[in-house]
Amino acid sequence: MKSFLKRKGCIHRFCYDVKIRKKLAILFVFFALIPLLVTGIASSYISQRYVLENEKNMLLQTMEEKLTTLDYFLAIYANKCEMLSNNLELQRLLGKNNENIYDEVTSYHAIEQIINQVADDVRYEFLPFSEYFRGDLKIEIFNTNQTLPSDQSLLYPIADYQEEETTMGNTPLYQWISGLRDTKNREYIAMERKLYNYQNGDFLGIIRMMIPVERIRKILDSGEKYHHTALFVDGRYHAIGVKEGEEEQRYLNYIANNNLSDGIHEIRVEKENIIAGVFGSSVSGWQLIYFTETDEIMDGANAILFVTGISVMMTIVFCAVFLLTVSKIITRRLGLLVEKTNCVRGDNLSVAFMIEGKDEIGVVDQNFNEMIGRVNQLIEQEYKAKLQKNRAVLELLQEQINPHLLYNTLSMIGYKAGKSEQLEIVQAVDNLIRFYKDILNRGELISPIRKELDMVEEYLSITRFVYELSFDTVIEIEDSLYNCWTIKLFLQPLVENALLHGIRPQGEGILCIQGYEKDGLAVFEVMDNGCGMSREDLEELNKICAGEQEHEKGYGLSNVVRRLRLFFGNHFKMHFYAPMEGGTLVRLSFPLSDEESIRRYLE
């Protein structure tokens, strides 16, 4: 226990009592070496992984190119086979009943001519891929027509096919097969296609398009740049065109037993780390598979390990010399910064001297000076905000002085007008009572936007009665805004401005009010087609909206701007526009708020 407390005391003294310069030196000696070594080891590992991934990507690109070439190559012959199966003349000849030897020979030569027209390969020296079409292409037709001659080269009886291959009867319309050989022991792969007479649906036989395997090997052996084995295997994992060695057979057995999906795989086969690529052919359904040993790839990373080790050692030596030199300069300037903070702690917020430099210490000193200036600015802003808030509360209290006398007087006027059957006056008085009740709002500074719109409707009715104006109103408000909250009486002064200064001079017009949500803001637009305003008046109003000056001719607009800016700060925007078609447009926006959030701000 005493030993533990003693060690704890040493750590405490080291952390709090030892000079920073000595701390830096000690910490570097005991702790910088380990991170550097860890960094070196990690860098070596990452480099090895990078080499491996880069090699995998290059192999992937190469194999994808080969698979694309293979599929293109096989698709050509698949299309040729399809063309022959769809040839109506060939269908007619295969189904024709030949009555004599002349008919048989004529039909045979006609079939041979159709086959040669489709099956002949053309090779051009200036086309690089045309070299893949070299070799002996063979086409065999196993037909059901017993009146056709069988030459055991082009035409065969269907019985010969059934003796040789019995799976076609239950297969789909076509299939790919491998392992075929001719009389000269040359290996082929083939596409087999059932033949039908399209006119009567009779089964005519099977056409077999036999492709020399040497063409497949030509594609696989082209462009070899890497030490790997590439095999094209059928559905039974038998390699096409080559005899698998013991090593390749082990790898193929592993892939077959584990049913590896298409893509790159790192596998371990009998203590050997192997990178295997599996790619399915979209034409034949077979697979292009390649293998390469991981150890062969990683041989290229040994030079990276050596360079990394040398770099780590040189870094340690350089850091030691550099740290001892720089630590003295750093600690001296830190002392000046401590002296400056002590001055501020003594309530001296006008510290003037600067610490030279643009490094971290210089930036800290600059930020510290900016922070002191910001603190002074915030103190002043808070003082002004409190004054404005108190002023708003005072204005609200003044509005509530004896409102009952006003309500009772208006009610009596409405009552007497009703007795005199002056219904228009009764309606105007009712609108006026509701309007003032909405303005006072029981002493609330805030209200839902729905109530603000009701107040605007009441004001429009009063205005029509008082000024005998004839104007149309278009109000389009998104439903999502109705239940949002904001400060009260933000929209009516703008509507009043549009009516009195835009529409009233002309005696009639159209007033449009739009409200919508955009990027988390509530946006309102009030537009009229009235007489508009001069460029000077427009600039003056926009200065008022920007808070650059007070309104010299009226109180309502300045009041709206001041109250919205007090609540929402720089998030509130208002601007006046002069549309090309005439009139005036004012657009204001402020953050969307619910009742809880805006009341929390007031508190």
- Any bridge partners for residue 584, and if so which? 528
Distance, in Å, from the CA atom of 343 to the CA atom of 346, rounded to the nearest integer, reads: 5
pLDDT, greater one: 345 or 239: 239
Classify strands 138-143 and 155-157 as parallel, antiparallel or unpaired.
parallel
- Domain boundary (298, 329, 363) is at 298
577: amino acid identity, one letter: Y
For Cα atoms 243, 167, 205, give the angle at the middle one, nearest 5 degrees.
110
Q: What is the mean pLDDT of residues 398-422?
A: 54
List of residues 6+ apart from 132 with CB closer than 8 A: 69, 73, 215, 218, 219
Is residue 518 situated within a structural domain? Answer: yes
Could you please report the per-residue DSSP string of 520-546? TEEEEEEEE-SS---HHHHHHHHHHHT
State residue 478's pLDDT score.
93
Q: pLDDT band for position 63 (50/70/90)?
A: confident
Distance, in Å, from the CA atom of 496 to the CA atom of 489, rounded to the nearest integer, reads: 11
Q: Which residue has the tokens 């104006």?
A: 469
Q: What is the mean pLDDT of residues 543-548?
A: 82
Q: What is the mean pLDDT of residues 268-280?
A: 83
pLDDT value at 336 more than 60: yes
pLDDT value at 191 more than 70: yes
Helix 33-85 vs helix 213-221: crossing angle, to nearest 10: 150
pLDDT value at 539 more than 60: yes
* Single pTM value for the model: 0.45
Distance, in Å, from the CA atom of 210 to the CA atom of 411, rounded to the nearest integer, reads: 105
Is residue 71 situated within a structural domain? Answer: yes
Q: What is the pLDDT of residues 11-36, one digit of tens each?
A: 666 666 666 767 777 776 666 667 77
- Domain boundary (283, 298, 313) is at 298
Is residue 375 situated within a structural domain? Answer: no
Query: Looking at residue 500, which CATH number applies to its domain?
Result: 3.30.565.10
Q: Token pair of 174, please?
A: 């076509």
Q: In angstroms, how far is CA 90 from the centroid of its own chain? A: 55
Distance, in Å, from the CA atom of 161 to the CA atom of 141, rounded to the nearest integer, reads: 9
State residue 131's pLDDT score.
45
557 burial via Cβ count (<10 Å: 0-12, 13-18, 19+): buried
Distance, in Å, from the CA atom of 317 to the CA atom of 400, rounded to the nearest integer, reads: 80
Is residue 360 situated within a structural domain? Answer: no
Number of structural domains found in the chain: 2
Round the average pLDDT of the chain to a whole number and report it.
Answer: 77
Whole-angstrom CA distances from 117 to 70, 82, 90, 141 are 23, 14, 12, 16
Is residue 242 situated within a structural domain? Answer: yes
State residue 368's pLDDT score.
74
Is residue 540 situated within a structural domain? Answer: yes
Residue 56 contacts residue 275 (beta carbons within 8 Å) = yes
Distance, in Å, from the CA atom of 499 to the CA atom of 469, rounded to the nearest integer, reads: 9
Domain that holds residue 587: 444-602
Is residue 367 situated within a structural domain? Answer: no
Is residue 129 situated within a structural domain? Answer: yes
- Domain boundary (258, 283, 298) is at 298
Q: Is 587 helix (H, G, I), strand (E, B) or coil?
A: strand
Q: What is the pLDDT of residues 204-252, one digit of tens each?
A: 999 998 888 888 888 887 765 555 678 888 888 888 877 766 777 787 8
**Which residue, among 94, 114, 41, 310, has the nearest Cα to 203 in the 3D structure?**
94
Classify strands 446-448 and 470-477 as parallel, antiparallel or unpaired.
unpaired
State residue 171's pLDDT score.
56
Torsions phi, psi for 372 (to 5 deg): -60, -45
What is the maximum span of the chain, computed from C-alpha positions, in angstroms? 127
Q: What is the pLDDT of residues 570-598, one digit of tens each?
A: 888 999 999 888 889 999 999 998 888 88
Q: Is the dihedral of CA 441, 445, 451, 454 positive or negative?
A: positive
Q: What is the mean pLDDT of residues 388-404?
A: 52
Q: Which residue has the tokens 């200064």?
A: 501
Secondary structure of 3-71 as H, E, C letters: HHHHHHHHHHHHHHCCCHHHHHHHHHHHHHHHHHHHHHHHHHHHHHHHHHHHHHHHHHHHHHHHHHHHH
State residue 397's pLDDT score.
46
**Which residue, among 458, 474, 538, 464, has the nearest Cα to 508 in the 3D structure?**
464
State residue 432's pLDDT score.
67
Sheet holding 263-269, edge to edge: 229-233, 287-293, 272-280, 263-269
Q: pLDDT band for position 476 (50/70/90)?
A: very high
Q: What is the mean pLDDT of residues 128-156?
A: 75
**pLDDT above 90 as % of the chain:** 9
State residue 597's pLDDT score.
82
Q: pLDDT band for position 419 (50/70/90)?
A: low
